[in-house]
Amino acid sequence: MPPYVLALKERIAYLPPEQVARVLRAYEVGAQAHEGQARKSGEPYITHPVAVAGILAELGLDAETIIAAILHDTLEDTALSRAELAGEFGETVADLVDGVTKLDKMRFSSRQEADAESFRKMLLAMARDLRVILIKLADRLHNMRTLGAKDAASRRRIARETLEIYAPIAQRLGMNKFKAELQDLGFRALHPDRYRVISERIRAALGNRREAMGKIEAALSSRLAGEHLASRVLGRIKSPWSIYSKMRSEHKSFAQLMDVYGFRVVVDTAMSCYVALGAVHSLYKPVDRRFKDFIAIPKANGYQSLHTVLLGPFGAPIEVQIRTAEMDSVAERGVAAHWAYKTDSGPANSAQARAREWLSSLADSQANTASSSEFIENVKIDLFPDEVYLFTPRGDILSLPRNATALDFAYAVHTDVGDHAVAARVDKKLLPLRTRLESGQLVEIITAPSAVPNPAWLESVVTGKARTAIRQYLKHLQHEDAVDFGHRMLDRALDAQGSSLDAIPVAVLDRFLEAAKLKRLEELLADIALGNRMPDVVAGQLLAARGKQKGGAAPAQHAVEKIRITGAERGVLSFGNCCHPLPGDEIIGYLSTGKGIVVHRIECPNVVELRKSPERCVAIEWDRDVQGDYRAELRIEVINRPGVLATVAAAIAAANSNIENVEYVERDSAAATLLFALEVKNRKHLADVIRRVRRTGVVSGAYRYPL
């Protein structure tokens, strides 16, 4: 038996003998399957999966996880089939291996897409069984430890992926020991020179401070013993990656970051943590506002500890973390803590419970996200290291990423609450949904059945769940609007040629859809509205297919009514920023590929150019009853004197118009020209705003811009 297998056998001694025999059988099957395969370093390939199994054995995981780790590359890289795997080791092991196995890259158009789809599959397998990600993280950790055999480009790509995705996932699952090693190995591979310089400086700084560290540690131990507390005091050393990332994000020098002494105090009970806190506060004076209680309110990944900062005897702050041995184990190992002793009926530790909650929200998110890449972006958004802790009216605690808004909170409560949210009560004060929240606030969401998401909401959220739900609603809305508008456009085009959609036989329509590789008529209509197909061209093709269009002769021309718009078709319509059309203006539509119809005023300077593509121009007009606010720009020439801006703004507000933006276009000692961006109901409303502005007595000219 090779030495690496003997080492694994020693590590799995905590398992019952029959399970140890199953693990050794898995090694035999894996070694046979990988026979003849070698790693880039020249070692037999089987050494890698055995090493991965060894890393998981150090965490005390169950036999099925160890077996799946040994066999995790067999489905992808060997002739061994899933059925053979399930037959020998059971369905659970086969599911675990299948969850870790990457997808066949030949199905995808790019490496990035293959990686995104593979990662998405892994996350969904995680949602079914947490052990999948434990195997994947151990696999990545061993690959990072042996990265030297790869070429430089591969090393950089793998290191970047590790820092961006795998280390944050380890952190999200509370596995801080894995996270720290993945980060430092990734940093060393991505920036070897920076890693070397920082590592050398850390070693030098520790050498200079060893005596001071010893004195503080002895003082802490003595003070805790005086309180009859059984405790361990350990000095903490910052890692190269944490130093480097803080230097970049907090713009601090190496000396500033290293000028801190870090200690961890481990006691026997949660109550002892608070006694120990009092003891260290009586030894050294605490720094105001630097105390955090993560025991009462654990972090999103289950982490629990008391954090405090003290003013030490050597002129440098002392950071102290106080926790129990159980909390220390969960802080280091997260979801993997005490795995072997946890039965299905027994309670999971807090890290496992919180991880399952997060993974079930990921499963919901992916079900509503069509693109793998978009799903990965949403996952990255959710891997925030900093959180805010908020209270619901019932006293439940929700953790959200830093900078989360009341709208994020609404979607965290439930998708329906988010979709119908109108405002928030934060600590009993009524505030808008875009309000950023801070830890400790009590948040209540006010809803209305008529409220629905709008595109501006995407700029007010930071969580993946909220972003996915809003996009899903808008896509559904856009599709409905596009189908309705496309129907009207195709009917108009057919009417111009003396026909209608109802006159096209179903068989002709089905043949046309099949040739165009479209499943339903709705897809064709949406394509027309979004500018991907020209209605006149589609109408001509349908009539030709029907066999009624006269060869070579011009189609019969009919006077066709313009398509009426209400402005509510926001999924299909957009309004030109060059001319800002308003209800009441004469307008024209231009079909822009992928965007739908862009509405312009007839007098817009760009219309001359647009008319050069007549097939893309759409005859439209405003409906009689148009609701909503529309952007308009007003150019105002004023006498330059104190208070003039406030006078003009008051006149605009008096006309019930909202100011979005204002800027000075020209300015000298006597006069100034201001450009206001406003929200108005229609052309008449804008005329009323202009009248009120002209009456102020400080304005020499006010007119719509552009004219």
Phi and psi at 603, nearest 5°, equal -85, 5
Sheet of strand 587-592, all strands in order from the earlier edge strand to the far edge: 573-575, 596-601, 587-592, 617-618
* CA contacts within 13 A on the Cβ side of 222: 8
Asked whether the beta carbons of 321 and 265 are under 8 A apart, the reply is yes
Residue 484 annotated in active site: no
Q: Give the span between the Cα atoms of 29 and 35, in whole angstroms.
A: 10
Nearest-angstrom CA–CA distance, 349 and 339: 9
The helix or strand, by DSSP H or E, that contains position 664, with its residue range, turns out to be strand 658-667
The active-site residue out of 28, 35, 62, 77 is 77
Q: Is 77 a catalytic residue?
A: yes
Q: Are 489 and 535 in contact (CB under 8 A)?
A: yes
CA–CA separation, 601 and 576 (whole Å)? 8
Q: What's 436's DSSP letter?
A: B
**Helix 176-190, helix 192-226: angle, nearest 10:** 150
Three-state SS letters, 209-272: HHHHHHHHHHHHHHHHHHCCCCCEEEEECCCHHHHHHHHHHCCCCHHHHHCCEEEEEEECCHHH
The token duo for 700 is 């020499």
Centre a 10 Å sphere on the Cβ of residue 315 and count the other Cβ atoms it contains. Answer: 8
Write down how long the chain is.
Answer: 707
Cα-Cα end-to-end distance for the chain: 87
Based on the number of CB atoms within 10 Å of its own CB, is 102 exposed (0-12), middle (13-18) or buried (19 or more)? middle
The residue from 43, 76, 374, 633 that is catalytic is: 76
Crossing angle of helices 17-33 and 82-89, in 10° steps, is 160
Round to whole Å and give the CA distance between 443 and 433: 11
Calpha distance 490→495 (Å, rounded): 8
Report, as residue numbers or ranges, the catalytic residues: 76-77
